[in-house]
Amino acid sequence: GIDFLLRAMRDVVAREPRVRLLVGGTGTMRLALEQFAHDHGLIEHVEFLGFVPDADLPRLYQRAGCVVVPSVFEGFGIPVLEAMACGATVVGTNVDGIRSLIEDGVTGLLADYGDEPGLADRILRVCRGEFAVEPALADRVRADFDWSVVARRYDEVFRRVVSE
C-alpha cells in the first residue's frame, strides 16, 4: 500500500509543502518507490528509513503528526495498535483488520483503498490539526491490548471451550 500512499502524497504536498513522510521497512519495491518519489517531485518530502528496529518504533510514532497505515489487506492491525498506544492519530485504509480497530472519525480516520484524494484529505485533516484522537485513547489501547490481558482472555476462552 505504500505506492497508494505515495500517489496520495502528491496531493498532500501540493496543498501542504511542509509535510514530510517517513517510510519504514524494506522490501522488493523499495527502489521502485524511491524512483516514483523522485519522478513525482516527492523526494524532498519522503525519507525511506529502511529497517526500523521495534525498539525505535515508539519514538517514531510519538514524533509523528499522523501515522498512515495504507494496507491493501490487514489480518490484524498491529501497527495501528502500536501507533495508537503511543498516542498517535492513525489514518488507515478501510479494510477488515484496520476497520475493526478504528472507528472512523472517533479513534482515527479511514479511507478506501485506491481513493487517493480521500486519503490525502484525511492526512491533511490530521496534519492541519482538524482531527486528533483523544489522549485517553492511548491509555485504553495499552490497557485493552496488554499481552497479560490478552493472554488472560485467551485462557478464559480456552477454559470455556474445554468445559463445554
User: What pLDDT, on the 0 to 100 scale, is given for residue 47?
Assistant: 95
Domain ranges of the chain: 2-163
> Which sign, positive or negative, has the C-alpha torsion 121, 127, 128, 130?
positive
User: What pLDDT, on the 0 to 100 scale, is given for residue 77?
Assistant: 78
* CATH class of domain segment(s) 2-163: alpha beta
> Treating both helix axes as pointing N-terminal to C-terminal, what angle do 136-145 and 78-85 enclose, rounded to 10 degrees?
130
Residue with cell 495501528: 80
Measure the CA–CA gap between 141 and 62, rounded to whole angstroms. Answer: 15
Question: DSSP letters of 97-141?
Answer: HHHTT--BTTTBEEE-TT-HHHHHHHHHHHHTTS----THHHHHH
Grid cell digits, residue 149: 490481558
pTM of this structure:
0.82
Residue with cell 514530510: 20
User: What pLDDT, on the 0 to 100 scale, is given for residue 116?
Assistant: 97
Ordered per-residue pLDDT tens for the chain, 164 residues: 899 999 999 999 999 999 999 999 888 889 999 999 999 999 999 999 999 999 999 999 988 889 999 988 877 778 898 999 888 999 999 999 899 999 999 999 999 999 999 999 999 999 999 998 877 766 677 666 665 555 555 566 777 788 77
Grid cell digits, residue 69: 497505515
User: What pLDDT, on the 0 to 100 scale, is given for residue 152?
Assistant: 59
Sheet holding 109-111, edge to edge: 67-69, 90-93, 109-111
Contact yes or no for 119/7 (Cβ under 8 A): no
Angstrom CA distances, 47 to 20, 21, 24, 30, 140, stand at 8, 6, 9, 11, 31
Contact yes or no for 96/74 (Cβ under 8 A): yes
Q: How far is CA 158 from the centre of its chain?
A: 32
